[in-house]
Structure 1
Amino acid sequence: MPSQDPMNPAVMRASTAPAGGQPRIDDVLLRFPEEADYYSNLIDWNDPDDPLRLLHEPANRLDGRAGAIPPHDDMRDTVPGCQHAYGSSALLNIAPEWLTDSANLEPGLAYIASHPEINHVLLSGFDSFGLSLQQLTILLGRLRAISHVQIIRLTTELPVRQPRRIYENEALLELLRAYSTPERRIYVTVHITHPRELTAEAKTSLESLQQAGVIVVNRTLLMRGINDDAVVMGELLDKLVWAGVAPYYLTMADPNGVHETHALPLVRAYELVEEAKALTSGLGKRVRLSMNHASGIVEVLAVEDGRAYLKLYRAGDARQGRFLVRDCGPELTWFDELHEAEAADAAAAESAAGAVLDAGGDIWTEPVPDLRIEWKPGERSEEIVSINMMPIGD
Structure 2
Amino acid sequence: MYSSKNHPKTHSFDLVGEYKNTIKTIEELEQFIPLTAEERETLQKVVDIHPMAITPYYLSLIDPEDPEDPIRKLVVPSADELSNLGSYDPSGESENTKQSGLQHKYEQTALILTTKQCMAYCRFCFRKRFVGVADNEILRDIKAARNYVQKHTEITNVLLSGGDPLSMGNEWVERYLEAFMSIDHVDYVRIGTRVPVVLPQRISEDGELQELFSRYSTPDKRLHIVTHFNHPKEITPESIRAIDTLYACGVPVHNQTVLLKGINDNPDVLADLFNSLVSIGVNPYYLFQCRPVRRVLHFQLTLEEGLTILEEAHKKMSGLAKRFKYAMSHRSGKVEILGSDDDHIYFKYHQAKNPAHSGKFFKVDRMPEACWLDDFPGWKHGNIG
Quick one: which amino acid aligns to residue 11 of structure 1? Q
Quick one: which amino acid aligns to residue 52 of structure 1? I
Residue matched to 2:373: 335
Quick one: which amino acid aligns to residue 89 of structure 1? T
Distance of 1:101 and 1:268 partners within structure 2: 35
Q: Which moved more, 1:285-294 or 1:226-235?
A: 285-294
Distance of 2:285 and 2:364 partners within structure 1: 25
Contact 1:7–1:57 at 8 Å: present in 2 too?
no
Pair 1:258–1:216, CA change in 2 (3 A): farther
Quick one: which amino acid aligns to residue 375 of structure 2? E
1:192 maps to which of 225, 229, 243: 229
Higher relative contact order (CA 8 A, sep 6+): 2
Q: C-alpha deviations, 1:83-102, integer Å up to 9, x for none?
A: 22222211122134659998
1:10 deviates by 6.1
SS of the residue corresponding to residue 284 of structure 1 reads: coil
Unaligned runs of 5+ in 1: 17-23, 30-34, 62-67, 351-380, 383-394
Residue matched to 2:71: 52
1:322 maps to which of 360, 366, 373: 360
TM-score by length of 2: 0.75
Contact 1:9–1:40 at 8 Å: present in 2 too?
no
2:300 maps to which of 260, 263, 268: 263
Contact 1:220–1:249 at 8 Å: present in 2 too?
yes
Distance of 2:310 and 2:269 partners within structure 1: 11
1:6 deviates by 5.3
After the TM superposition, which segments of 4 or more aligned residues of structure 1 sit over 6 Å from their partners? 12-16, 99-102
Quick one: which amino acid aligns to residue 180 of structure 2? L
Quick one: which amino acid aligns to residue 329 of structure 1? M
Contact 1:221–1:252 at 8 Å: present in 2 too?
yes
Contact 1:72–1:296 at 8 Å: present in 2 too?
no
| Residue 170 in structure 1 maps to residue 190 in structure 2 | no
Q: C-alpha deviations, 1:307-359, integer Å up to 9, x for none?
A: 11001332242553321111121121111002x2559xxx9xx9xxxxxxxxx
SS of the residue corresponding to residue 63 of structure 2 reads: coil
Residue matched to 2:316: 279
Contact 2:52–2:76 at 8 Å: present in 1 too?
no
Pair 1:254–1:73, CA change in 2 (3 A): closer
| Residue 247 in structure 1 maps to residue 318 in structure 2 | no
Residue matched to 1:76: 96
Contact 1:121–1:149 at 8 Å: present in 2 too?
yes
SS of the residue corresponding to residue 369 of structure 2 reads: coil
Contact 2:102–2:139 at 8 Å: present in 1 too?
no
| Residue 135 in structure 1 maps to residue 155 in structure 2 | no
Residue matched to 2:111: 91
| Residue 221 in structure 1 maps to residue 221 in structure 2 | no
Distance of 1:334 and 1:103 partners within structure 2: 33
Give % identity.
33
Contact 2:261–2:301 at 8 Å: present in 1 too?
yes
Give the RMSD, CA atoms, in angstroms.
3.3
Larger radius of gyration: 1
Quick one: which amino acid aligns to residue 85 of structure 1? K
| Residue 181 in structure 1 maps to residue 200 in structure 2 | no
1:273 deviates by 1.1
Distance of 1:244 and 1:210 partners within structure 2: 9
Residue matched to 1:145: 182
> How many residue pairs get matched?
322
Unaligned runs of 5+ in 2: 1-24, 41-49, 82-87, 117-133
Distance of 2:293 and 2:173 partners within structure 1: 32
Contact 1:79–1:111 at 8 Å: present in 2 too?
no
Contact 1:189–1:219 at 8 Å: present in 2 too?
yes
SS of the residue corresponding to residue 269 of structure 1 reads: helix
Quick one: which amino acid aligns to residue 361 of structure 2? F
Residue matched to 1:65: none
